Amino acid sequence: MMTVHAPIGVLLGGLFLVAGVGKLARREAFAQALAGYRLARPRRLVVWMVPAAEIAVGAALVSGLPAAGWAALAALAAFSLALGVELAAGTAPPACGCLPGSRAPGPLSLVRNALLGLAAVAAALGLPPALGRAFWTVSYVALWAAVLGLAALVLALYRQVGVLHLRLGPGHAFEHEAEGLPLGEPAPDGMAARLVVFTSRDCPICAQIVPGLRALASDHAVAVERVRYEDDRGRELYEQFLVPGTPYAVYVDAAGYVRAKGTINTLEQLEGLVVSGRVREREQLVGDRAA
């Protein structure tokens, strides 16, 4: 396996540059954070000096200057000293405001600074870490572990989706023979081969169902016609279909006959009505051919 030398100075320099530019971009937030540090005085001067120093050190590290690593170590030591004083006093200072979403520093921040300090020493001594066979072996093992873990997670989610699909399968509309046009009766002219959904303006359930009608039409390849009671022809169709109330739906087959109907409360029930209507439509076609 090939050996790769990590450009630790460039990486550390990029981190310093991002932190410095972030403080300048969010200078007001950084100035407020400095109020929580006793050693950050005078604050008006520190609010400019710290980001300027970070940018200078970062640029020097990226440029490969020999003394840049020691400068980065000194800066990290100063930051750790200011933070350590506050933590020792039992007062946790606020986030530095370097970047959006920055969290308040704590003991782990000192550990982070110590690791960065080791990287700064390595950069100062010109010791680029070599990523050899051991690194690549560990990487491959970690990647395969991640792949297997993700595969197990996908299978678990697949099972859960299947269970959810079974629980939320198509329901059934409230179909009553005494309400609406009788099954098998012809629908009004111009209403063949479609699902007719009746809604009204003051119906809260209708407002929940209407946004899903387009997806229902696409998923089941069925023409969906929404009839509003407030429209010009709405009341006429309500009377012709003998609609008892809203929301109400009727499935009309290609021959123009009512095959399913009922009061609906959910899109699942509406989907079930389409399925029932098509089953009856096919049964009627088979019966007609057998006759």
pLDDT tens per residue, the chain (291 residues)?
Answer: 555 556 888 888 888 998 889 888 888 888 888 888 888 888 888 889 999 999 999 999 988 887 899 999 999 999 889 888 888 888 777 776 665 566 778 888 889 889 899 889 988 888 776 666 776 788 888 999 999 999 999 988 877 775 565 455 456 777 888 889 999 999 999 899 999 999 999 999 999 899 999 999 998 999 999 999 999 888 999 999 999 999 999 999 999 999 999 999 888 889 989 999 999 999 998 888 886
For the chain, what are the domain ranges? 4-131, 138-168, 194-290
Q: What is the pTM (predicted TM-score) of this model?
A: 0.46
**Superfamily per CATH, domain 194-290:** Glutaredoxin (3.40.30.10)
DSSP string, the chain: ---EE--HHHHHHHHHHHHHHHHHHTHHHHHHHHTT-TT--SHHHHHHHHHHHHHHHHHHHHHT-TTHHHHHHHHHHHHHHHHHHHHHTT-PPPP--SSTTPPPP-HHHHHHHHHHHHHHHHHHTT-PPEE-HHHHHHHHHHHHHHHHHHHHHHHHHHHHHHHHHHHT-----B--TTSSSPTTSBPPTT--SEEEEEE-TT-HHHHHHGGGHHHHHHHHT--EEEEETTSTTHHHHHHHHT--SSSEEEEE-TTSBEEEEEE-SSHHHHHHHHHHHHHHHHHHHHHHHH-
